[in-house]
C-alpha cells in the first residue's frame, strides 16, 4: 500500500460524507481507505494501452419506441382508479401544516 491515511484525513472524509464516527471507527475506516487506495495502485500497474474506454463492461443498446402523439387521457378514466377524488381532482391527505404567525 502506498498511502496510509492519518486520523485527521479520515475525519475530514467522514465530515464530507456527513458521518459521525467514534475514534475506533476512525481507525477502522483509515485502514479501509488505505486498502482502497492500494487497489488503485495495483490497477495503475496494468497495461491498458489497447483497451478501449467504456462506461459499462457489457455491450448494451437502448431499445426505444417511436415517439408518437396519442390522445390525452380523459379525466374520468384518469380518476377511475383513484382512491378518492373530488370532481376533476385527485384528493390526497394534507402533508403540509400552516405555522401560526
Identify the burial level of 34 via C-beta atoms within 10 angstroms of its C-beta, where 0-12 means exposed, 13-18 middle and 19 or more buried.
middle
Q: What is the pLDDT of residue 4?
A: 82
* All structural domains of the chain with their residue ranges: 7-44
Q: Which residues of the chain have pLDDT under 70?
A: 1-2, 101
Q: What is the pLDDT of residue 94?
A: 85
State pLDDT tens for residues 18-36.
999 998 899 899 999 999 9
CATH code given to domain 7-44: 1.10.20
Amino acid at each position: 500500500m502506498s498511502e496510509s491515511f492519518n486520523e485527521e484525513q479520515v475525519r475530514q472524509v467522514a465530515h464530507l460524507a456527513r458521518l459521525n464516527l467514534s475514534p475506533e471507527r476512525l481507525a477502522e475506516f483509515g485502514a479501509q481507505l488505505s486498502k482502497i487506495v492500494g487497489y488503485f495502485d495495483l490497477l495503475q500497474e496494468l497495461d491498458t494501452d489497447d483497451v478501449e474506454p467504456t462506461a459499462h463492461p457489457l455491450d448494451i443498446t437502448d431499445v426505444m419506441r417511436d415517439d408518437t402523439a396519442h390522445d390525452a387521457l380523459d379525466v374520468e378514466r384518469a380518476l377511475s382508479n383513484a382512491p378518492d377524488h373530488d370532481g376533476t381532482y385527485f384528493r390526497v391527505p394534507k402533508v403540509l401544516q400552516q405555522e401560526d404567525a
